[in-house]
Amino acid sequence: MAKQILIVYFTWSRNTRKIANLIHKEIGGTIFEIQPEVPYPSSYNEVVAQAKKEIQAGYKPPLKTKIDHIESYDIIFVGSPNWWSTIAPPVATFLSEYDLSGKTIVPFCTHGGGGMGRMISDIVKLCPKSTILEEFVIYGSGAGDAQAKVSQWLLKIGITQ
């Protein structure tokens, strides 16, 4: 039986959306953008300051939309920019609002120089009964070779053949 795939992501600068779309193009499934009820400011400096405060406080912003029938998905790709060495607060909200026990979580991350930071350990804390596969990490939007890198990673972790 084919595995049901969900690709969820939060994006501020559109980099994470680009990677989510590259994954979707390769494997299909359902794609879903995590959106907070109150959008983040468009100013980079303002969003950096707000994100720092939210992360330090452990704040999980309410989300605008929900996913119906999360239980029907087997594999959930979770994309986030690296904000202050961890997942963006809306991603933390998503991971804590659903019971992902028994699901396979496949993290992917865009960053501006910080790599994954502590994103994996924070995902593990929020999804202790999930299987976490090897993450995909890319600087910015990955420039021209992002599709090739995504393809190599999907092959390496056994999603594609």
Q: Any idea what the CATH number is for the domain that residue 128 is in?
A: 3.40.50.360
* Domain count within the chain: 1
Q: What is the pLDDT of residues 98-150, one digit of tens each?
A: 999 999 999 999 999 999 999 999 999 999 999 999 999 999 888 789 999 99
Q: What is the pLDDT of residue 1?
A: 58
Q: What is the pLDDT of residues 38-65, one digit of tens each?
A: 999 999 999 999 999 999 999 999 999 9
> Which domain range does residue 39 map to?
5-157
| pTM, to two decimals | 0.96
Quickly list H helices, 5-130. Answer: 15-27, 44-57, 89-97, 119-126
